[in-house]
Amino acid sequence: MVALDIVRAHNASLKTLPPNLVAVFVGGTSGIGFFTAREFVRTTTSPHVYLIGRNATEASKIMDELNSINSSSQVSFIQKDISLLKNVDEACSEIKSKEEQVNVLFMTCGYLTMKGRDETAEGLDRKMAVQYYARMRFISQLTPLLNKASETGNLSRVVAVLDPQAGLRLGGLDYSDLSLRHNFSLKNVLLHASSMTSLSMAHLANQNPKTAYIHEYPSGVETGVTRELFGRFNDTVMSTLGGLFRRFLFVPQVESGERHLFAATAPRYAPKADSAKTDVIGSDGVKGSGSYLLNWNGDILADTKKAQKLREEGGLDKVWGHTQEVMGKIEESGRF
Ligand SMILES: NC(=O)c1ccc[n+]([C@@H]2O[C@H](COP(=O)([O-])OP(=O)(O)OC[C@H]3O[C@@H](n4cnc5c(N)ncnc54)[C@H](OP(=O)(O)O)[C@@H]3O)[C@@H](O)[C@H]2O)c1
């Protein structure tokens, strides 16, 4: 476990980085995205922050809070339903029109549901779209800006908060139906979104050796993630659970933000090009390979035989190839 005082000392040192760092929080209107954006704004000089989500009322409150924490920050809200890749493209176009580089792409978009397959107008399941395909589309569209940051010697990092443990534990992907059009179940969504995120990030770390890629498990955190399950009772349910079990169940919200900011910025999670500068083991079992699977406390999650098998059977290329095919078809014809 990375001790909290180490996390805090590192985060405080971000003040010494160049000003005007740019961070994009996909899912910054609630929960872990918001908690992390708040720490980023607190600890950096003149940051540019983009919050992406649907809820304009929450975004407006968060923008006021972030501006009051750091009056040198520039905070923008881009209102989009990112379950459609065309909306992801519009959000990225807006960022590209304003910024030359992106230092941190931090993605927490997601939700819990008990519903079955829910097809979007682009032919993807909505949960797979929000938790996997939209995230990969953000990475693809913003890679030139992440590369620009790394070429000028600045921080360049992608963080996806989901559940790397599911893929490590469960293994086994259905390569003939990666999007789960035919074999949909909530367990398969968990498995596919988790493993596909880990494998794609490992692929991307090889392609872009100056950017680091992190797939992170947040542990329990009191957030809005159960909103679709409990509807208007969500806040009551979460605060009752929190009241009863806070000390045992949940990472405190501020600590969660601090730890995720550490994951998004600490040099120990080095890009592949800087592998000589770290002893941390990447997701392929190799020191400093540029993609890392992290537990909530900053520890590396140990490799498993099931994850090894996915890599040995060519999972990195197969999953990224499929992802490009999905993105290409939607770009060409609006549907996969
Ligand atoms: N909290 C936990 O205990 C926990 C545990 C394990 C894993 N996770 C995972 O961690 C991630 C972060 O969750 P969280 O706890 O921070 O949840 P949260 O508080 O509900 O935040 C989720 C964010 O995703 C955005 N989002 C969801 N659907 C969207 C859509 N269609 N278009 C645009 N934005 C969308 C929401 O924005 P809008 O509402 O504004 O659209 C919100 O900002 C999720 O993937 C979750 O599954 C969380």
State the Cα angle at 267 between 261 and 269, rounded to 5°.
80
Question: Comparing C-alpha atoms, which of 139, 130, 160, 111 is closest to residue 260?
Answer: 160
- Residue-wise pLDDT for 63-108, tens only, equals 999 999 999 999 999 999 999 999 999 999 999 999 999 999 999 9
Whose tokens are 């939607």? That residue is 330
Distance 277 CA to ligand 1 centre (A): 33
- Residue 222 CA, closest ligand 1 atom number: 1
Mean pLDDT (the chain) is 95
User: So what's the pLDDT on residue 246?
Assistant: 65
Q: Is 49 in the pocket of ligand 1 (CB under 6 A)?
A: no
CA distances from residue 94 to 67, 85, 89, 169, 298 in whole angstroms, order as listed: 21, 14, 9, 38, 32
Distance 173 CA to ligand 1 centre (A): 24
Q: Is the pLDDT of residue 245 over 70?
A: no
- Please name each of the domains of the chain with its CATH number: 4-333 (3.40.50.720)
Q: Alpha-carbon dihedral of residues 95, 155, 193, 62, nearest 10 degrees?
A: -50
Q: Is the pLDDT of residue 116 over 90?
A: yes
User: So what's the pLDDT on residue 235?
Assistant: 76
Provide, rounded to the nearest whole percent, the portion of the chain with pLDDT above 70: 98
Q: Is 230 in the pocket of ligand 1 (CB under 6 A)?
A: no
Residue 180: left if φ>0, alpha if ψ -120 to 50, beta else—which one?
Answer: left
- Residue-wise pLDDT for 159-214, tens only, equals 999 999 999 998 889 999 999 999 999 999 999 999 999 999 999 999 999 999 99
Average pLDDT over residues 119-128: 98
Question: Comparing C-alpha atoms, which of 301, 302, 214 is closest to residue 264?
Answer: 214
Between 220 and 158, the higher pLDDT residue:
158
223: helix, strand or coil: coil
